[in-house]
Amino acid sequence: MNEVKLKKLEQTALRVREHIIKLSTDGGCFVGASLSATDLIVYLYTEFLNLNPTNLDDPDRDYLFLSKGHDVPALYGTLVEMGVLEAERLQNHLSTNDHIYWHPNTQIPGIEFHSGSLGHLPAVSIGVAMDLKISGSQNRVVCILGDGELNEGSVWEAVMVAHAHKLDNLIFVVDRNNFQANMATEDLIPLEPLVDKFEAFGWEVCRIDGHNFLDLEEAFADLPYKKHKPSVIIADTIRGKGLPSIEARADRWFCNFSSTEIEQLLQELHGEHTTTLVSETLVVR
């Protein structure tokens, strides 16, 4: 990856994080998890997937399913930066006259499937991948999962089915930020050794720094890792990435900040200072 492309990706991710922060007021959003997934979603939409404003309904497009649907602010922001979604619509967040709220809705251009209840979209993505195989299409299917979502039994059922059907057009991406809701994953139901678990289920596995665009480029350039096998990329990330004051905090999952706090966080994002929030305004769900 050349320096110009890297800089462009970093600037796009920065703008997406700005959108996320601005969405975390007047009702709030799942800001911590959205910030951890930002770089993954930006890279997928701008560099890897055959998706752009002109081909969203083209049968030859690639597919992305956001199984951890509470990360939709990162998807909204990326769609805005791609020119798919009008930036002004983000001001309708949680209003009654639009479809922009805490989880994906297919009324929004570029969103393939509703999600919110965890563990559902791995099976949906497998169904699409199987259909593409049967029809002889070359489309790729990506499903983004949360690490806490891996506690759902339906995920591992899907993992077995994907291996049984040799779906090498299917890629799972695990946003491994080490938190689920307001608790560390390893304190609730430990997931590690995660690489060994996926390998035991017959998948090809790659583990990377999910905030490093060079790592992302290398990982996605080599797909599929093996013919007749599904692939999973475990992306190690940081909840709240970009805002040191809320990074890696269990209590910064769903946040509803004041307008003053939003301004402070935007300054922090741009490195102007590390802030202590005016208050501990917080909603945890």
Please say if the pLDDT value at position 282 is more than 60.
Answer: no
User: Residue 100: its pLDDT value, please?
Assistant: 86
Please state, in angstroms and rounded to a whole number, the distance separating the CA atoms of residues 203 and 196: 10
Hey, what amino acid is at 125?
A: S
Local confidence band at 98 (pLDDT 50, 70, 90 cut-offs): confident
Instruction: Examine the pLDDT at 214 and tell me if it is beyond 70.
Output: yes
**Would strands 141-146 and 204-209 be described as parallel, antiparallel, or unpaired?**
unpaired
User: How many DSSP H helices and E strands does the chain contain?
Assistant: 9, 7
pLDDT of res. 277: 53
The CA–CA distances, whole Å, from 230 to 86, 101, 119, 149, 172 equal 35, 32, 18, 19, 8
Whether the pLDDT of residue 284 is over 50: the answer is no
151 inside domain: yes
- Identify the pLDDT of residue 275: 57
Q: What's the pLDDT score for residue 278?
A: 46
Query: Is residue 47 included in any domain, yes or no?
Result: yes
DSSP secondary structure letters along 138-169: ---EEEEEETGGGGSHHHHHHHHHHHHTT-TT
Q: Give the gyration radius of the chain's Cα atoms.
A: 18
pTM: 0.93
pLDDT band at 95 (very low <50, low <70, confident <90, very high): confident
**pLDDT per residue as tens digits for the range 17-54:** 999 999 999 999 989 999 999 999 999 999 999 999 99
DSSP H helices, the chain, are 3-22, 31-43, 72-82, 121-135, 153-164, 185-188, 194-200, 213-221, 259-269
CATH of the domain at 122: 3.40.50.970
Confidence tier at 281 by pLDDT (50, 70, 90): very low
If one counts the domains in the chain, the total is: 1
Residue 261 belongs to some domain of the structure: no
Give, in order, the Cα–Cα distances in Å from 94 to each of 23, 53, 124, 262: 9, 24, 26, 17
Task: Report the C-alpha gap between 205 and 194 in whole angstroms.
Answer: 10
In the predicted model, what is the mean pLDDT of residues 116-128? 94
Domain assignment present for residue 247? The answer is: no
Q: Which residues lie across from 174 on neighbouring strands?
A: 145, 234
Q: Is residue 226 part of a domain?
A: yes
In a domain, 17, yes or no: no
Domain coverage including residue 172 = 30-239
Question: Given a cut of 90, is residue 283 above it in pLDDT?
Answer: no
Average pLDDT value over all residues in the chain: 93
240 pLDDT band, cuts 50/70/90, is very high
Flag whether 191 is in a domain: yes
pLDDT of residue 285: 34
